[in-house]
């Protein structure tokens, strides 16, 4: 809801601060008083193109600030997506400045933003309906969503069916493309698969072969050293044999002296350690044993693996996976149209499921359209549009345009005279008729698709009496659900307002200014009497104004 509007140096407005409340607010004033300036200022802060002609003559720049109370999940999500800080329950403040040279800046909660973001935010805050408005109800692109909201139609099943259809289409297209590409390379594939099958690479094989080769190469280098060590330790002339012989002699004479016993013990320990060394040497020789033929075979295998990896531009460990991949491609080629046929069947089933679900959605929309047409028709006669007809067209789109929201084109059309053809609202209805059609639609749609604030610009132009009263009654009804601001020339509409703002020009001899004043009950009565009688306010006009206010 719009709670405040502050305007500085916009056209004839030097400085203006306005507060707004919920319900129906009316803005009145003599022709040329500057009512359109307020809408231009509001449009500027909602992202409209910044025209330097809006800057008041002599001023360097214009500025507009609008404050809103919001309770809208989509708007909160949009703010979060754009990193705009906003605490729940706090007001949302939009600000726009415009320099006389045409440059402009935009802010949301004092954070700099683009005018484009203001335009994204605007529809979630305010709907402005006027004779030249091309958004909201007049834009056919939004008619389908409005009809779905009116009929409480859930499009989730159609969206899911469309997603499945799209996925089946993508799978078939990918399979066909792969099959065509693979078929062109069939000869190469057969050769590559045969080569890899013959080689039979295994993951980790290269590293294992390289480690074994390094071990055998090292063993070859130290073989002479191991043979020499074996001669020094083992055999009848080796060190261990001599130590054992010395131990046998010492065993006979160790009792003759304590030192001999100690010598025997030391030799025994040396024999034990020497035996351990002898065992470790045998283990090492067994581990480092190599067969020149095995070494040659491992080196040849390594050469083949690495050569194949270079040929296919992969790592040797990836050769096994490559072999499986190429074999799979070859199998799919050999499977031929069998796999494609299965995917085609799946696609046909997905399309049929979508068509059935979309047909049910179309039926629901046509039923809702009939109810909407009846609701709008009930509003036309009181608005002096009794010769007009309204209809909601639900037509099937070309298959290429079917989507997640179904296969229907929805558009609101009118015929303003008996026998006249139906056409789009903007092409058929005149200015005054257009505003009344919008009002009839809004009343029929009630809360569906409405922003928190709605503004109607001179919806009552060219009508009076009972029609103006009907317009006022419907505006008041709408205002029970949302904040409504109406620029009006009709006393019947003005009398319905919960808050009344008077727009007027003033002159000080050199400068003309536009100002806005909130009216109390006595001032309201006087303004409505002026609207009834013109320049000279008569007692009869005041009495009529009193009756209108009492009736409201």
Q: Where are the domains of the chain?
A: 186-335
Residue 398 is classified by DSSP as P
- Which contiguous run of DSSP H or E holds residue 358? helix 337-380
**Which two three-digit tokens encode residue 440?**
């009839």
Q: What is the pLDDT of residue 350?
A: 96
Angle at 164 between CA 161 and CA 165, to 5 degrees: 85
Beta bridge mates, 97:
63, 105
The 3-state DSSP composition of the chain as helix, strand, coil percent (nearest 5) reads 60, 15, 25
| pLDDT tens sequence for the chain (552 residues) | 999 999 999 988 889 899 998 889 999 888 776 778 888 899 899 998 888 889 988 888 999 999 999 877 888 888 889 988 888 888 999 999 999 988 899 999 999 999 999 998 988 888 887 654 545 577 788 889 889 888 889 999 999 999 999 999 999 998 888 777 767 777 788 888 899 989 998 888 888 888 877 777 776 667 667 767 777 777 667 778 788 888 888 888 888 888 888 888 888 898 888 888 878 877 777 766 666 777 788 888 888 888 898 998 999 889 999 998 888 877 767 666 667 888 899 999 999 999 999 999 999 999 999 999 999 998 888 888 888 899 999 999 999 999 999 999 999 999 888 888 998 877 776 666 777 787 888 788 865 555 678 888 877 776 777 778 888 888 888 888 888 898 888 899 899 988 999 988 888 777 888 888 899 999 999 998 988 887 688 888 889 888 888 887
d(CA 541, CA 528): 8
pTM: 0.59
Q: What is the pLDDT of residue 134?
A: 45
DSSP string, 125-171: TEEEE-TT--SGGG-GGGHHHHHHHHHT---HHHHHHHHHHHHHHHH
Residue 307 is classified by DSSP as H
d(CA 497, CA 483): 11
Task: Tell me how far CA of residue 314 lies from CA of 191, 211, 321, 439, 538, in angstroms.
Answer: 17, 21, 10, 70, 99
d(CA 462, CA 431): 9
The sign of the dihedral angle between the CA atoms of 174, 179, 184, 187 is positive
Pairing between strand 24-28 and 499-507?
Answer: parallel
In 10 A of CB 242, how many CB atoms? 11
For helices 239-253 and 258-287, what crossing angle results, to 10°? 160
The sign of the dihedral angle between the CA atoms of 109, 114, 117, 121 is positive
Closest listed residue to residue 94, CA positions, set 82, 80, 81, 105: 105
CB 305 within 8 A of CB 206: yes
Backbone φ/ψ region at 231: left (φ over 0), alpha (ψ -120 to 50), beta: alpha
CB 228 within 8 A of CB 218: no
The alpha-carbon radius of gyration of the chain (Å, integer) is 46
CA 537 to chain centre: 58
Q: What is the pLDDT of residue 204?
A: 87
For helices 337-380 and 431-445, what crossing angle results, to 10°? 110
CB neighbour burial string for 334-350, b if at least 16 within 10 angstroms, e if fewer = eeeeebeeebeebbeeb
d(CA 522, CA 542): 10
**Which two three-digit tokens encode residue 203?**
């993951």
Q: Counting every residue, how long is the chain? A: 552
Q: Which residue has the tokens 């928190």?
A: 452
d(CA 521, CA 283): 113
**Which two three-digit tokens encode residue 518?**
């909130």
> Which residue intervals of 446-518 are DSSP H helices?
465-479, 491-494
Beta bridge mates, 394:
410
How many helices (H) and strands (E) the chain has is answered by 18, 15
The sign of the dihedral angle between the CA atoms of 328, 329, 330, 334 is positive
The sign of the dihedral angle between the CA atoms of 317, 319, 321, 322 is positive
**Which two three-digit tokens encode residue 91?**
């007001």
DSSP string, 43-78: HHHTT----GGGBPTT-SEEEEEEEE----HHHHHH
């Amino acid at each position: 809801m719009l709670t405040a509007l502050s305007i500085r140096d916009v056209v004839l407005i030097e400085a203006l601060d306005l507060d707004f409340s919920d319900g129906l607010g009316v803005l009145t004033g003599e022709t040329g008083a500057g009512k359109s300036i307020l809408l231009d200022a509001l449009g500027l802060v909602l992202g409209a193109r910044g025209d330097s002609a809006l800057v008041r003559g002599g001023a360097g720049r214009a500025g507009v600030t609008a404050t809103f109370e919001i309770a809208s999940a989509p708007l909160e999500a949009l703010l979060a997506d754009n990193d705009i800080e906003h605490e729940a329950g706090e007001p949302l403040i939009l600000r726009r400045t415009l320099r006389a040279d045409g440059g402009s800046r935009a802010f949301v909660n004092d954070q700099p933003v683009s005018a484009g973001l203001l335009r994204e935010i605007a529809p979630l805050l305010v709907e402005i309906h006027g004779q030249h408005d091309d958004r909201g109800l007049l834009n056919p692109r939004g008619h389908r969503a409005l009809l779905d909201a009116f009929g409480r139609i859930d499009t989730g099943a159609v969206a899911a069916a469309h997603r499945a259809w799209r996925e089946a289409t993508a799978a078939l297209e990918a399979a066909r493309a792969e099959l065509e590409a693979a078929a062109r390379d069939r000869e190469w594939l057969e050769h590559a698969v045969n080569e890899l099958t013959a080689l039979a690479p295994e993951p980790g094989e290269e590293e294992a072969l390289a480690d074994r080769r390094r071990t055998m190469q090292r063993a070859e280098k130290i073989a002479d050293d191991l043979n020499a060590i074996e001669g020094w330790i083992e055999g009848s002339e080796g060190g261990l044999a001599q130590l054992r012989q010395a131990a046998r002699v010492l065993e006979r004479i160790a009792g003759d002296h304590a030192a001999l016993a100690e010598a025997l013990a030391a030799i025994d320990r040396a024999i034990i350690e020497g035996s351990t060394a002898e065992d470790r040497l045998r283990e090492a020789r067994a581990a480092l044993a190599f067969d020149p033929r095995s070494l040659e075979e491992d080196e040849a295998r390594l050469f083949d693996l690495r050569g194949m990896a270079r040929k296919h531009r992969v790592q040797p460990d990836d050769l096994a996976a490559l072999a499986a991949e190429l074999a799979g491609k070859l199998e799919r080629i050999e499977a031929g149209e069998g796999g494609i046929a299965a995917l085609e069947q799946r696609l046909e089933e997905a399309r049929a499921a979508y068509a059935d679900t979309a047909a049910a959605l179309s039926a629901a929309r046509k039923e809702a359209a009939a109810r909407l047409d009846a609701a709008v028709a009930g509003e036309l006669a009181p608005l002096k549009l009794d010769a007009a007809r309204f209809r909601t067209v639900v037509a099937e789109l070309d298959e290429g345009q079917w989507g997640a929201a179904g296969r229907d084109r929805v558009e609101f059309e009118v015929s303003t005279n008996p026998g006249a053809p139906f056409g789009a609202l903007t092409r058929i209805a005149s200015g005054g008729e257009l505003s009344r059609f919008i009002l009839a639609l809004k009343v029929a749609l009630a809360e569906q698709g409405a922003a928190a604030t709605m503004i109607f610009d001179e919806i009552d132009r060219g009508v009076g009496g009972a029609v103006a009263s009907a317009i006022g009654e419907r505006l008041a009804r709408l205002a029970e659900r949302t904040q409504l601001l109406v620029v009006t020339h009709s006393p019947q509409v003005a009398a319905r307002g919960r808050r009344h703002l008077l727009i007027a020009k003033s002159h000080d001899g050199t400068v003309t200014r536009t100002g806005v004043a909130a009216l109390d009950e006595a001032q309201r009565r006087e303004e409505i009497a002026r609207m009834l009688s013109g320049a000279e306010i008569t007692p009869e006009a005041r009495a009529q104004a009193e009756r209108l206010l009492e009736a409201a």
